Amino acid sequence: MNDGEFRARLRDFLTSHHPGRPPKPPEERLRWNKAWLATLFDAGFAGPSWPREFGGMELSFAHQVIYQEELARARVPGPLGTGLGIAAPTILTYGTQDQKERWLAPMLRGDTIWAQGYSEPGAGSDLPSLRTTARRDGDYYVVDGQKVWTSHGKTADHLFTLVRTGSRESRQRGITYLIIDAHAPGVEVRPLRDLTGGHLFAEVFFDDVRVPVTDRVGTENEGWKLARTSLGHERAAGAMNQAALYRRVLTDLVALARERGLLADPLVRDRLAGFEIRVRLMHYNAERVISDILAKGEPGATSSVSRLLISAFEQELHEFAVDVLGPAGLLLKPDPDAVQGGRWLQGFLRTRASTIGAGTREIQLNTVAEQVLGLPHDPAMPPR
């Protein structure tokens, strides 16, 4: 199928099956989102880069780009949890056939939601200092400890975690990649309230949680290698999807500025032109990330460049929007004077975290310095 035919077929499907506006109550909204993911999967329109064997589309580079553009254009709900972009590529690379068969299709169809349990109260940028332990007991591991900032922890069915199986001093040499059933006895999820008033994050506590050895991905004590794959994909995940999304968001912002008579101001036009240039750069960089993954199987350090570009862009775009909207831009729903339901202020609050999640801005800058520019390695971080 050529590019034009593929785009037309997908656009047609998205128009005829569009799920409409999301319901407000969180539980109904979750069901609505899951139903949409199932519709996409059942029609063969899920997992643009995934192998067909596990329900994906195995698309060419050009079709993956079109796929993300059309989904952003149609304003349909995205995936749930963080499994698709982060855990799935790791399982595809290091998982056994049995694990792939058990986990991948239900994840893609939205039947199961996955969340990432890496960070701990004392281990964020310096992940090798993590202290959650997994002790071997026959065919099980017994897990004890705590994770924090677990996005989608409240709704998760599976947690893809890093746990310590070696001594504390072993650092990155004693870490194992374990998939933990979020509903297992001994798992306690406590939602955390964030700046927007939502509960995206959770703390997760493990108290003698029994995890079958068959749910370990890769070899015991060699999870660091998997974590590095995961982290690269986390930074790459959604690079194209976000470039397409911000194309649309910027178009909305220009329309809003026009509607409010702001385009007569040359300073406003200058800032919008700057955003336009950056949104195009994000698109080209996302193309580089996808072509790296297709060529080498790994996103490499370009994923950090991409992450840096996107996180700075989304923060500055929302800061600008709130600035130009004046006092009305500071109102949120249900205030009747809130501009577009407070969308721009919500975005401003939400994107404060963009330069922390998936590795802080400083850590991304270090990666670019070392792996792209060839500068000396940060002595505070584990050797590569």
Ligand X SMILES: Cc1cc2nc3c(=O)[nH]c(=O)nc-3n(C[C@H](O)[C@H](O)[C@H](O)COP(=O)(O)OP(=O)(O)OC[C@H]3O[C@@H](n4cnc5c(N)ncnc54)[C@H](O)[C@@H]3O)c2cc1C
Instruction: List residues near ligand X by CB under 6 A.
Output: 82, 115-119, 124-125, 149-151, 353, 356-357, 359-360, 362-363, 366, 378, 380-381
Distance CA 382, CA 171 (A): 8
Whether 119 and 149 have beta carbons less than 8 Å apart is answered as yes
Compare residues 122 and 297 and give the one whose CB is closer to ligand X. 122
| SS3 at position 20 | coil
- Smallest separation (angstroms) from ligand X to the CB of 151: 3
Distance CA 354, CA 361 (A): 9
- Smallest separation (angstroms) from ligand X to the CB of 150: 5
The residue count for the chain: 384
- Smallest separation (angstroms) from ligand X to the CB of 67: 25
Question: Read out DSSP for 93-136?
Answer: HH--HHHHHHHHHHHHTTSS-EEEE--BTTBSSSGGG---EEEE
Compare residues 118 and 320 and give the one whose CB is closer to ligand X. 118
- Smallest separation (angstroms) from ligand X to the CB of 313: 16
Distance CA 19, CA 30 (A): 13
- Smallest separation (angstroms) from ligand X to the CB of 204: 9
Compare residues 34 and 152 and give the one whose CB is closer to ligand X. 152
**Angle, to 10 degrees, between the axis of helix 266-296 and the axis of helix 61-74?**
140
Known catalytic membership, residue 234: yes
- Smallest separation (angstroms) from ligand X to the CB of 122: 8
- Smallest separation (angstroms) from ligand X to the CB of 234: 9
Whether 109 and 115 have beta carbons less than 8 Å apart is answered as no
Whether 107 and 95 have beta carbons less than 8 Å apart is answered as no
Compare residues 7 and 131 and give the one whose CB is closer to ligand X. 131
Compare residues 319 and 378 and give the one whose CB is closer to ligand X. 378
Please list the alpha-helical segments (H only) found in the chain: 3-17, 26-42, 61-74, 88-94, 97-108, 223-236, 239-259, 266-296, 302-325, 343-350, 361-367
- Active site residue: 70, 234, 276, 362, which one? 234
The one-character DSSP state at 342 is: G
Whether 43 and 12 have beta carbons less than 8 Å apart is answered as no
Compare residues 299 and 359 and give the one whose CB is closer to ligand X. 359
Distance CA 86, CA 68 (A): 17
CA distances, 204 to each of 26, 129, 177 (Å): 21, 18, 16
* Burial environment of residue 73 by CB neighbours within 10 A (0 to 12, 13 to 18, 19 or more): middle
Question: Annotated active-site positions, please?
Answer: 234
